[in-house]
Structure 1
Amino acid sequence: MDARLLAIRDEVFRRNPGEIEFHQAVNEVFESLAPITGKHPEYADAAILQRICEPERQIIFRVPWVDDAGSVQINRGFRVEFNSALGPYKGGLRFHPSVYLGIIKFLGFEQIFKNALTGMPIGGGKGGSDFDPRGKSDGEVMRFCQSFMTELYRHIGEYTDVPAGDIGVGGREIGYLFGQYKRITNRYESGVLTGKGIGWGGSLVRPEATGFGAVLFAQEMLKTRGLSLEGQRVVVSGSGNVAINAIAKAQALGATVVSASDSGGYVVDEAGIDVELLRQIKEVERGRISEYAERRGSSVSYVAGGSVWDVHATVALPCATQNELDDKHAARLVESGLIAVAEGANMPCTAEATAILQEAGVLFGPGKAANAGGVATSALEMQQNASRDAWSFEHTEQRLTEIMVGIHHDCAATAEEYGMPGNYVAGANISGFKKVADAMLALGVI
Structure 2
Amino acid sequence: MREYLLTLFTTAAVTYLLTAPVRKFAIAAGAMPPVRARDVHREPTPRLGGIAMFGGLCAGLLMAAHLTHIKDVFHSGSDVKALLSGAGIMWVLGVLDDKWGVDALVKMGGQMVAAGVMVWQGVTVISLPVPGYGSVYVTPMQGTLISVLLVVIMVNAVNFIDGLDGLAAGMVCIAAMAFFLYSYRLLYGYGIEDAAPATLFSAVLIGMCLGFLPHNLHPARIFMGDSGSMLLGLLLAVAAISITGRVNPDPLIEQTGSQRDAVHALVPIYIPLLLPLTVIALPLADLLLAVVRRTWAGKSPFAADKQHLHHRLLEIGHSHSRAVLIMYFWAALFAFSTVAFSVTETGRLVVLIGAGLCLLGIVVLLLPRFRPRAPRAVQSLVPPRYRDAEEPAEAAATAAAEGPATAAAALRVEDEALLHQLGSGASASGPRSGPRGGANG
Fold shared, TM-score > 0.5 on shorter chain: no
More strand by share: 1
More helix by share: 2
* TM bucket, shorter chain: under 0.3
